[in-house]
Amino acid sequence: MNFSVSAGFVFVLLSAYFNGANAAPDAAAGQRKAAVCVACHGTDGNSSNALYPSLAAQAPLYVYYQLLQFREGRRTNEQMTPFAAKLTDADMKDIAAYFSAQKSLGTDIKIDDARIEVGKAIATRNHCGSCHLPSYAGQNHIPRVAGLQVDYLINQLRGFKNGARPDIDGTMASAAQPLSDKDIVDMAGYLASLK
C-alpha cells in the first residue's frame, strides 16, 4: 500500500473522529445502537465465539476505526459491512464509547505453561508490546489483543501475513512476515491467556 495514501487516511480518520460530530460520544446510546452486535460479539462485548473478537475494553478510536473501515469498504465482512454501511460518524462514536466502557472478561481457554512461555518470547522478540502496550491492552487505534479468542487471533495474524486482512499502514502485515505458523499459534495462545 502506498504510504502517503495510508498516512492521508490516518489523518482523515483522526480528523473525523476528533472533529466529526459535535456531540460527545454517548455510551448509553451506543448500547442501544449495538444491540444487534451481541449476537456475534457477546453480551457486553465479551465474545464466547472463536470467530468474533471481544470488543469490551477496546480503545474507542480502534472500534470507531474498524467500523469506519467496514462502512467505507476498506474492510469487508458478510455481517459487518451491511451493518456499518448504515452508521453515521456519531453512531460509530457512540458504539465505540459503549464497548470501550465494558470490562474485558478474557477467555477461559486453558493453554499449557510451556506454550505460553514460547508465545511470550515470540511477542517480546517481535516487540508487539511497543504498539499494543506491554499489557497488550491496546491504545488509540491499536487493538487490545489480551484475552481475545485464540482462533480469532490466529486467523487475524495469518490474514496479516498472507495479505487477506487489510492493514491501514502496513505495520501488522510487516510484523507478521517473519512469523512461522507455529509462531502465530503459540503467540495467539499467549495473548489469549492474558486477562
pLDDT tens digits along 61-93: 999 999 999 999 999 999 999 999 999 999 999
Q: What's the one-letter identity of residue 10?
A: V
My answer on whether 9 and 93 are in the same domain is yes
How many domains, in total, are found in the chain?
Answer: 2
- How far is the C-alpha of 89 from the C-alpha of 136, rounded, in Å? 27
My answer on whether 95 and 135 are in the same domain is no
Distances 160 to 88, 90, 188 between C-alpha atoms, Å? 28, 29, 13
142-151 pLDDT, tens digit each:
999 999 999 9
Q: What's the predicted TM-score (pTM) here? A: 0.86
Supply the pLDDT for residue 88: 98
Per the structure, the complete domain to which residue 12 belongs is given by: 3-100
My answer on whether 45 and 12 are in the same domain is yes
| Low-confidence residues of the chain: pLDDT under 70 | 1-22
Look at residues 28, 42, 35, 62 and name the one whose alpha carbon lies nearest to residue 105. 42
Say if CB 77 and CB 70 are below 8 A apart.
Answer: yes
Residue 107 in domain: no
**Domain stop point among 67, 100, 133:** 100
Supply the pLDDT for residue 43: 87
Residue 117 in domain: yes
